[in-house]
Amino acid sequence: MEHKIIFAGFGGQGVISMGTLMAYAAMAENKNVTFYPAYGIAMRGGTANCSVIISDDPVASPVIAFPNILVVMNEPSLDCFTDRLQEGGTLLANSSLIRKKAARKDIRSFYIPVNDIAEELGDSRMANMAMVGSLLKIMNTVTLSTVFQTMKKTFSPKLLKVIDINQEAMKKGFHAVQL
Amino acid sequence: MKKVYERNNIAFDMPSPYCPGCGHGVIHRLVIDAIKEAGQEDNTIFMAPVGCSILAYTYLDLDICQPAHGRTPAAATGIKRALPDSLVVLYQGDGDLAAIGTAEIIHAANRGENITAIFVNNAIYGMTGGQMAPTTLKGQKATTCPFGRSPEDGQGYPIRVCELLQSLGGVTYAARTSVHTAPNVLKTKKAIQTGIENQMEKKGFSIIEILSACPVNWGLSPQKSNEFIANEMIGYFPLGDFKKDGKIIQRSDH
Amino acid sequence: MGEKQLMKGNEAIAEAAIRAGMTCYFGYPITPQNEIPAYMAKHLTIRGGTFIQAESEIAAINMVYGAACTGARAMTSSSSPGISLKQEGISYLVGARLPAVIVNIARGGPGLGNIAPSQADYFQAVKGGGHGDYHMVVYTPETVQEAADLTMKAFDVADEYRNPVLILGDAILGQMMEPLVFKEPSGKKFDKSSWTLGNRKGRKSHLINSLSLTEGVVEQWNWELKKKFDLMAERELMVEEYMVEDADVIFVAYGTTARICRSVVHQTRKQGMKTGLIRPITVWPFPTETIAGHAEKTKHFFVVEMSLGQMIEDVRLAILGNAKIHFHGRPGGGIPAEADILKQLKAILQS
């Protein structure tokens, strides 16, 4: 098993948080993992992306040229990264903000309205958590309960106050995907 | 016969390596006397960087660090932070402190590093053979300003270091003295003692700027060199305290 | 053994240094190594050490020089342009025989370049970026775990030889997060009392210095340094040989590019191509003999670097014309792509 995942979106959409949460959770399940963020001046409002490799074997190259899973939170990211997705790879797109479909036919695509899911729960900032839920269902490598445990360990005190509702968003994202 | 003056045993028993009429020998003696009187000879780390001051470590029996040119306050910072109870004495010339090492002295002073800087201002580069220093006076000749220093021609103005540093919060003491006459030598001794006491009392950064002669590179006799200090240098670099116990001294000289 | 943690390379280096007994850190902000000073500002000070955000990289390396004079374990870190600024200080550390650890999380250059990963500081690191005849051990970790392990080791090696040690990483190593377990520091004790400054009571005074104007003295110092460099070269070499025994093509790469090559080795082995990897873990000393040994039976060596080709010169000197050398490099922050390496590899194997 080796998942090469790229997460991409606007700065402020919690793209880096998605990647780090997955990395922590994968580590908790004793997987080999490497997380590599776009760094430096990627601030709120700009574009942000990060790469996460989760593998049974030690990770060789930490650089993902061609991901087998692509998670895009906005349309520019879809435009930018879809060509790089491996043949037969999986696309997860935030259909609340992405109105079009990917042009490629050789990939599996899931369109999940994660902003809408988050807004129903009261805060669109949880869209990233809903997306992590969807990703977990599709990947079937890391469990929801591991991620919940990880959130308890890694969330800042400020975020811990809203952990329940974030977990709720994640569950909704999980169930929003039909395989 | 009663002995009233003798060699300070911090100095090895050897001839001074400095040129006739040079102020370094006198200033070294004042510094080591102050260290000895404070009972700090086993606790002192003496910083002798680049310039004529390098000659200090050939004849001073102290722990000595020779840092890179101008980096004296940075290296002294490293030493003092690692050994906060040691007495760290910087001995810098005008090229070292006010040209290549300007950033380091300003920031060490501003952090209030608890160290004592002895700044020997002879308005010239001595060791390298008489080039223009940041403190070379307007009109003064040097090998790299052979027609006399001309700020109008882009050679800059002589930098007044005490005036520059006194505004910084970390500076507890800034004074300018001279060694061109005996009374001034005694005042210099007092200022050095104050700088060392400040450090022992953990008051922060002290600087004692000392006007000193460089007869060889000035092209003057030792006597004429002392007259140059009296008649030319002091007019531009006024003597006295600029900051004491962290308080800026209000002055009317400029 | 401690608990498994997920950390950025930069943070792992910082934490490993603190665990190795480093008490004095001095640095200046520059991307992509900013997590190191930030970590020190928080964790080193809490644990009783000294952190100073210096006014420049030049000041920082000279603060290291000062702290090292007292026997304290001292360290600085920066990225390429900042490391250029430290070269004078590094030369002085060697000249004055002072131990220190310097970390370069390298970025694209020349000039201000960019903040992307690069290996274009190889020459500067191993050929002496500063003035004078000198060498220092240069470690090139490829994972976060190895970055932590080698950081701890670097302090011992620096103390053992009274010489600076460089850790040469790149932006990927600094920025990526991987799980790691901190090993116990070696606990080796080094008696520095014969040369350190301060607390002089009961002994002769010490001078820390790299200058003498007396004829022949500096030459003599250099001969003594050479003895030390020879000893370092003999004892401190680290190299990994991966699937090289039957290889038709051996990659030579270090750090991040070694990992990329390792991926290519995995892929090509699956397809029946016999490839292997020699990974210098120290690039000084360089594994000349290791490479030369394989050049007797392997015909092709494939050097991959994030530069226009720097380490390749040392590979050439090792191979001395006994095998063919191929090169794939990406300068200025470019990262070699596995597909491009693979394409070039296939062409080599078909030739």
Tell me, which fold does domain C239-350 have in CATH?
Rossmann fold (3.40.50)
On whether the CB atoms of residues A115 and A127 are closer than 8 A, the answer is yes
Number of neighbours of residue C95 by Cβ within 10 angstroms? 23
Cross-chain residue pair B80–C66, CB shorter than 8 Å: yes
| Predicted local distance difference test score (pLDDT) of residue A41 | 57
Number of neighbours of residue C76 by Cβ within 10 angstroms? 32
Domain ranges of chain A: 2-176
Q: Which residues contact C80 (CB under 8 A, 6 or more apart)?
A: C104, C106, C107, C108, C109, C113, C118, C120, C121
From CA B91, how far away is CA B34, in angstroms rounded?
14
Cross-chain residue pair B66–C68, CB shorter than 8 Å: no
Give the closest-approach CA distance of B8 to chain C in angstroms: 16
* Phi, psi (deg, nearest 5) at residue A47: -95, 150
On whether the CB atoms of residues C314 and C308 are closer than 8 A, the answer is no
Domain ranges of chain C: 5-235, 239-350
Among chain A residues, CA nearest to C261: A61
Nearest CA among B241, B189, B206, B144 for reference residue B34: B189
Name every chain B residue with its beta carbon within 8 A of the beta carbon of C64: 78
Q: What residue has token string 């109008």? A: B152
Interface check for A150 against chain C (CB to CB < 8 A): the answer is no
User: Is the per-residue pLDDT at C249 higher than 60?
Assistant: yes
Q: Does domain C5-235 have CATH number 3.50.50.60?
A: no
SS (H, E, C) chain B: CCCCCCCCCCECCCCCCCCCCCCHHHHHHHHHHHHHHCCCCCCEEEECCCCHHHHHHHHECCEEECCCCCCHHHHHHHHHHHCCCCEEEEEEEHHHHHHHCHHHHHHHHHHCCCCEEEEEECCCECCCCCECCCCCCCCCCECCECCCCCHHHCCCCCCCHHHHHCCCCCEEEEEEEECCCHHHHHHHHHHHHHHHHHHHCCCCEEEEEEECCCHHHHCCCHHHHHHHHHHHHHHHCCCEEEEECCEECCCCCC
Tell me the per-residue pLDDT of B32-78, one tens digit each, with 9 for 90 and over. 999 999 999 999 999 998 888 777 888 899 999 999 999 999 999 99
User: Is the per-residue pLDDT at B118 higher than 60?
Assistant: yes
Query: What's the ipTM?
Result: 0.94
CATH homologous superfamily of A2-176:
Pyruvate-ferredoxin oxidoreductase, PFOR, domain III (3.40.920.10)
Using DSSP's 3-state secondary structure scheme, residue C304 falls into strand
| Predicted local distance difference test score (pLDDT) of residue C1 | 59
Tell me the per-residue pLDDT of A7-62, one tens digit each, with 9 for 90 and over. 999 988 999 999 999 999 999 999 999 999 987 655 455 678 999 999 999 999 99
Distances in Å between the Cα of B83 and the Cα atoms of A97, A100, B74, B203 are: 59, 66, 14, 16
Among chain A residues, CA nearest to C33: A40
SS (H, E, C) chain A: CEEEEEEEEECCCCHHHHHHHHHHHHHHCCCEEEEEECCCCCCCCCEEEEEEEEECCCCCCCCCCCCCEEEECCHHHHHHHHHHCCCCCEEEEECCCCCCCCCCCCCEEEEECHHHHHHHCCCHHHHHHHHHHHHHHHHCCCCHHHHHHHHHHHCCHHHHCCHHHHHHHHHHHHHHCCC
Q: Which of B43, B68, B81 sits opposite C24 (nearest CB)?
A: B81
Domain at B24-248, CATH from 3.40.50.970, 3.40.50.300, 3.40.1190.10, 3.40.50.10860: 3.40.50.970
On whether the CB atoms of residues B79 and B86 are closer than 8 A, the answer is yes
Tell me the per-residue pLDDT of A73-107, one tens digit each, with 9 for 90 and over. 999 999 999 999 999 999 999 999 999 999 999 99
Number of neighbours of residue C1 by Cβ within 10 angstroms? 7
Tell me the per-residue pLDDT of C91-147, one tens digit each, with 9 for 90 and over. 999 999 999 999 999 999 999 999 999 999 999 999 989 999 999 999 999 999 999
Name every chain C residue with its beta carbon within 8 A of the beta carbon of B74: 54, 58-60, 62-63, 65-66
